[in-house]
Amino acid sequence: MPAAQPVTLHVNGRSFAREVEPRRHLADFLRHDLGLTGTHIGCEHGACGACTVLLDGAAVRSCLMFAVQADGAEITTVEGLAEEGGALHPLQQAFRDHHGLQCGFCTPGMLMTLLSFLTEHPDADEHAIRDAISGNLCRCTGYESIVDAALAAAREMRSG
């Protein structure tokens, strides 16, 4: 097995230098090397979207890339979404207001996918939002409440 390699990742505004096996994927690295267990692993084949994080601002599946590939990158996980004082991000608040989560397992991936999408498309309509989360599976909600939360959050993010 190839030796562990040094990497430095900047996650939620903090820098982490670690030695990591080349085959360790980014999701495992975030969860088990950094203890950031808010990022969830649902399928490990890039289909469910639960592991979505922001990599240099773009939503990516952290199960589909290796930690060594993220060397030097800026990463945002669900832990980095709320403010320091604990105030929820408008998107998180909208999920609560609209019952956009049940078991909560797909939720971090949904939030990160929508954060990236709504930042780029603040005027997105329902159709566009449904397309945007087409790669995020949820078995609990039936998606409607997630869409409603996203629409409400988009309004809030536009006005704020």
Partner 1 sequence: MGVRYFGARVPRVEDPDLLTGRGRYLDDIDLPGTLEIAFVRSRHAHAKIRSIDRAAAESLPGVVAVLTAADLGAAEKPMPQFAPSPLIKQNRTHHILATTAARYVGEAIVLVVATTRGIAEDACDLVEIEYEPLPVMADLASALDPNAPKAHEDAPDNRAATLRGRFGNVDEIFARAPHKFAERIFQTRGGCHAMECRGVVAAEDALSGQLTVFSSTQAPYMVRRALAGWMGVDESRIRVAAPHVGGGFGPKAGIYPEEFAVTLAARKLERPVKWVEDRREHFLATNQQRDEIWDVEVAADDSGRLLAVRGRCLHDNGAYLPYGLILPATLLAPFPGPYALEALDIAIEVAFTNKVPTSPVRGAGRPNVAFVLERLADRVARELGIDRAEVRRRSFVRADQFPYKTGMVARDGSPVAYDSGDYHACLDAALDAIGVEDFRARQKRARQEGRFIGLGIASYVEDTGLPPFEGAAVKVERNGKVLVATGAASQGQGHATALAQITADVLAVPIESVRVKSADTASFPHGIGTIASRVAVTAGSSVHLASQKVREKAIKVAADLLEAAEADLVLEDGMVRVAGTDKSIALAEIARRLDGDGAMPMPRGIEPGLAATAYYEARATTFASGSNAAEVEVDPDTGAVKILRYVVAHDCGKLINPLLVDGQIRGGVVHGIGNALFERAVYDEEAQPLATNYADYLLPSAPEMPRVEIAHLEKPSPLNPIGVKGAGEGGTIPAAACIVAAIEDALAPFGVTFAEHPLSPEAILKAIRRSSAPR
Output the CA torsion 122→127→130→132 (10° steps).
-50
Q: Does 130 participate in binding partner 1 (rule CB under 8 A)?
A: yes
* Binding flag, residue 76, partner 1 (CB under 8 A): no
Q: Report the relative pairing of strands 14-20 and 5-11 from DSSP bridges.
A: antiparallel
CB of 4 to partner 1, least distance (A): 12
144 binds partner 1 (CB under 8 A): yes
The least CB distance from residue 137 to partner 1, in Å, is: 5
Stretch that binds partner 1, among 54-62, 65-73, 105-113, 152-160 (CB under 8 A): 105-113
The full DSSP string for 20-49 is E-TT-BHHHIIIIIS--TTS--S-SSSSS-
Interface with partner 1 includes 16 (CB under 8 A)? Answer: no
Q: How long, in residues, is the chain? A: 160
Using DSSP, state whether 82 is helix, strand or coil.
coil
Residue 156 CB neighbours (<10 A): 16
Query: Taking CB under 8 A as the rule, does residue 113 contact partner 1?
Result: no
Interaxial angle between packed helices 90-97 and 144-159, expressed in degrees from 0 to 180 and rounded to the nearest 10: 140
Q: 33: buried, middle or exposed (CB in 10 Å: 19+, 13-18, 0-12)? A: middle
| Nearest approach, Cβ of residue 84 and partner 1 (Å) | 12
- Least separation in angstroms between residue 112's CB and partner 1 is 10
Min CB(19)–partner 1 separation in Å? 14
**Contacting residue, 55, 138, 152, 154, with partner 1 by CB under 8 A:** 138
Binding residues for partner 1 (CB under 8 A): 21, 23-24, 31-32, 35-45, 47-48, 50, 77-79, 81-82, 88, 92, 95-97, 99, 101-108, 111, 129-131, 133-147
